[in-house]
Amino acid sequence: MEKLINDFSFGLFFWQMILFVLLLLLLKKFAWGPILSALNDREEGIKNALDSAEKAKLEMQNLQADNQKLLQEARTEREAMIKEAREIKEKMISDAKEEAKTEADKMITNAQAAIESEKKSAIAEIKNQVASLSIDIAEKVVKSELADKDKQLKLVESMLNDATLN
């Protein structure tokens, strides 16, 4: 160290200082400026990327909320459609039952009318047969009883008493 102190020269020190300051100025202008500018740009880019990521995250949350809302609306609409379909089904079943009942009542009414008509026809036919048989019997009885006048009168009276008018 003594050698340094003994060989120390102010002129050389001065020129070294000037060169060092000049070197610092050149480094500042051509190296540190672009480096600091690049660092600032990179820092700005990172901030922008973080902001974009935050915006994207918020947008994704909004999209998820919208999707949930749409899904809920779709579920609600589906439930309403199912309920409406069930109501339509029940209405169709009740209408079909009513129509079948009406048709059955109409068929029963027609059948009862046909039965009544057949019954009247059968009664009329039976009356005709009874009348025909009565006339045949009366004819035979009258032929056998015509010989005696007293018997004829008694027979007519007893027949009139027995006969009921319809």
Grouping H, G, I as helix, E, B as strand and the rest as coil, residue 7 is coil
Contact 107, 113 (CB under 8 A): no
Amino acid occupying residue 77 = E
165 pLDDT tier (thresholds 50, 70, 90): low
Do residues 146 and 152 lie in contact, with contact meaning Cβ atoms separated by under 8 Å? Answer: yes
Q: Give the model confidence (pLDDT) of 75-122 as tens digits.
A: 999 999 999 999 999 999 999 999 999 999 999 999 999 999 999 999
Q: Is the pLDDT of residue 70 over 70?
A: yes
Tell me 1's DSSP state: -
Rounded Cα–Cα distance for residues 134 and 119 (Å): 22
114 φ, ψ to 5°? -65, -40
